[in-house]
Amino acid sequence: MKKFTTFIILLLLVQFASAQQEVWYSMFFSNKVLLNPAYTGSRDALNITAFHRDQWVGFEGTPVSQSVTVHTPIFKKKMGLGLSLEHDKIGINNAFSLQFSYAYRVQFNFGRLALGAHGQIKRDEMNWASTNPNSVTDNSIPYSNNSVFMPNAGAGIYFDNDFMYLGASVPYLIENEIEYSQNSATVSTGAKRNRHYYFMAGGIITLNDNLLMKPAAMARYVENSPIEVDFNLSFLINEFLWLGASARTGQTYSAIIQVYPRKNIQVGYAYDFTSTKLSNHQSGTHEIMISIEFGRKVKGFDNPRYF
């Protein structure tokens, strides 16, 4: 019975973790490097962006994610280099990843086309000790921490100009088998890191001297799963305040606010809520973002980039 119970718990954890393999940030349009390496250096400045996301607050063991990315253009902005650190926690599962990204850009009269690639190493850990098993001597019940290291690589393409952008990427090309080591043995969960395909698009529309409108969309496809799409519409008021809202497949919605306390600093907050019955048992999802840029000037003047 204990073996059967352990198997069921492990199966549920693996399925939950698989569904959350890649974090979907509500302010995805503010940090594309994590999903598309071709975006690396596209801000035309040294950019540092940090995210914190706390999902489905009120449930125990729900996803909590953090990320920090640093990327900059090099060689007269023809290339870009970047570094990303991520941490995701779901229940007793902890994952840490380190990612290096590179992009090469070609300038045309009508915009810039970038090709990018990145390499990643991910450490995935199951903290069985935190489940407080009734017995620590039963070999069928894991009670020590098990971990696995998974190398990966990804690629992407990104086009932008002053008015719009388009991108497509496959962040993780290798479908790693998720296998944990235990007592000098390898334990396979039967799960793997599924390959994800991302498509992004957006633009900027000037309504008047003090008001800009920015539509954006992100789509994600995983084999044998429905396509997920996030639509966002934001308005920039007086070059200081962004107000926006998003709608995502699965009856999830977001309210977003971003401000510029200084020209090179952007701070944002997003609140996600759902219209499903899940809303009766949790108090929404909270996401915080801060972005800082250094050295972005063209001919002595600030050159604003909206994406």
Residue 250 has pLDDT above 80, yes or no: no
What is the predicted pLDDT for the residue at 277?
Answer: 66
For residues 240 and 244, give the distance between their C-alpha atoms in angstroms, rounded to a whole number: 13
Domain ranges in the chain are 2-302
Cα separation, 204 vs 214, in Å, equals 5
DSSP annotation of 93 reads E
Domain 2-302: homologous superfamily in CATH: monomeric porin ompg (2.40.160.40)
Tokens 């003090």 sit on residue: 210
- Does pLDDT of 65 surpass 90? yes
Pairing of strands 285-294, 177-182: unpaired
Residues 232, 256 contacting (CB under 8 angstroms): yes
92: nearest Cα among 59, 130, 144: 130
Token representation of residue 34:
């994590």
pLDDT at 95: 92
Give the pLDDT confidence of 118-165 residue by residue, as tens digits. 999 999 888 876 766 665 565 655 666 778 889 999 999 999 999 999
Q: What percent of the chain has pLDDT over 90?
A: 61
The residue written with tokens 């009734």 in the block is 134
**By the 8 A CB rule, do 177 and 210 touch?**
no
pLDDT at residue 276 is higher than 80: no
Q: Which of 51-55, 168-172, 207-211, 276-280 has the lowest mean pLDDT?
A: 276-280
pLDDT of residue 59: 74
Q: Mean pLDDT throughout 229-244? A: 96
Reduced 3-state DSSP string for 118-143: EEEEEEEEEEHHHHCCCCCCCCCCCC
Residues 6+ apart with CB under 8 A from 11: none
Residue with tokens 């902890």: 94
Lowest mean pLDDT among 20-24, 166-170, 283-287: 20-24
